[in-house]
Amino acid sequence: MFDLAPGSFAFEAWTARFALWRGLSATLSASSLSILLATVAGVLFGVALTYGWWPLRLLVRLYVDFMRGMPVLVLILFTYYGLALFKIDVTPYWAGIFALAGFATAHVAENLRGAVQSVPAGQMEAAKAIGLTFPKRLRYVILPQAIRRMLPPWVNTCLEIVKGTTLLSVIGVVELLLASQQVIARNYMVIDFYLLACAIYLVVNFSIAQLGAALERRFSYIRS
């Protein structure tokens, strides 16, 4: 049985449940929006890296290399304070999402480029021979095979984004880690609440990993 006596960990955790839930909600929503934006933009950038006109490929390559070499914390600070210099009013929450999405976009784009290039060239030639237009060749032949190949690194990127949300606290976003720290500041149960936060992050990341495994099994039915 849990000890619900005042001053116990169970009592303090129950008292702080709403604060922790708001922090977890901020973590999940920021992660989901960042992953969604990065996936859409990353697919477009990956296709541009592979098939785009050379000036476009050069611009996308510069973006990808720059973002992949930038520490996430620096990118978050630069996005939040840099946008303010240009008189762009954005909340810390959305600044964090833009920063995480911009970082993840570079990784998704590079993963998709590698996945597309790993598809045998004969697949594109065969699709062209039966009269498919270039967009249809991408949609029906190349991308389904490439997506299956890029799923494992995409899942890893998703996990990194969830962990990256902990850095949003430096610009004032009350996500799970900062919410836990605020609770600790009231009750001084440092180890207990950090372990609780650790357990929550493990559950979230384990769920993402299992979802990724399910998607891999689903796409395994698509034959090259």
pLDDT of 5 above 50 = yes
**Pair of tokens at residue 157:** 């990127």
**6 vs 33, which has greater pLDDT?**
33
Q: What percent of the chain is modeled with pLDDT above 70? A: 96
224 — pLDDT class (breaks 50, 70, 90): very low
Residue 188, exposed/middle/buried by CB under 10 A (0-12, 13-18, 19+)? exposed
Q: Is residue 26 part of a domain?
A: yes
Burial (CB < 10 A; 0-12, 13-18, 19+), residue 55, is exposed
Place of tokens 């090259």: 224
Is 3 part of a structural domain of the chain?
no
Please tell me the predicted confidence (pLDDT) of residue 125: 82
- Domain for residue 4, yes or no? no
What is the tens place of the pLDDT at every residue in 87-97?
888 899 999 99
Contacts of 189 by beta carbon, 8 Å cutoff, 6+ apart: 9, 12, 183
How far, rounded to the nearest angstrom, does the alpha carbon of residue 36 sit from its chain's CA centroid? 8
In the DSSP assignment, the letter for residue 132 is -
CA distance 169 to 43: 29
Closest CA to 10 of 2, 20, 22, 1: 2
Q: What residues contact 82, with CB distance under 8 A and at least 6 apart?
A: none
Give residue 2's pLDDT.
Answer: 54
- 45 lies in some domain: yes
Report yes or no on 158 lying in a domain.
yes
How far from chain centre, in Å, is Cα 18?
25
Mean pLDDT of 16-22: 95
Q: What is the pLDDT of residue 32?
A: 96
Helix spans in 86-175 (H): 92-118, 121-129, 134-137, 143-164
> In Å, how far are 9, 46, 137, 193 from 52, measured between CA atoms?
57, 9, 15, 49
Residues 158-170, mean pLDDT to the nearest whole number: 95
Which of 15-24, 102-111, 125-134 shows the lowest per-residue confidence on average (mean pLDDT)? 125-134
Asked, for residue 105, whether it belongs to a domain, the answer is: yes
On the question of pLDDT at 6 being above 80, the answer is: no
Instruction: For residue 47, tell me if it sits in a domain.
Output: yes
Q: What is the CATH number of the domain that holds 19?
A: 1.10.3720.10
**Which range is least confidently modeled, 52-61, 100-109, 112-121, 192-201?**
112-121
38 is in which domain, residue-wise? 9-219
CA distance 100 to 30: 9
Question: What pLDDT was estimated at residue 1?
Answer: 46
Whether 97 is covered by a domain: the verdict is: yes
Confidence of residue 3 (pLDDT cuts 50, 70, 90): low
Token pair 């992660």: residue: 31
When divided into structural domains, the chain yields a total of: 1
Q: What is the mean pLDDT of residues 203-207?
A: 96
Other Cβ atoms closer than 10 A to 201: 19
Segment (H or E) for 205: helix 190-219
pLDDT at 121: 80
Average pLDDT of every residue of the chain: 90
Q: Is 175 left (phi over 0), alpha (psi -120 to 50) or beta?
A: beta
Q: Give the span between the Cα atoms of 28 and 35, in whole angstroms.
A: 10
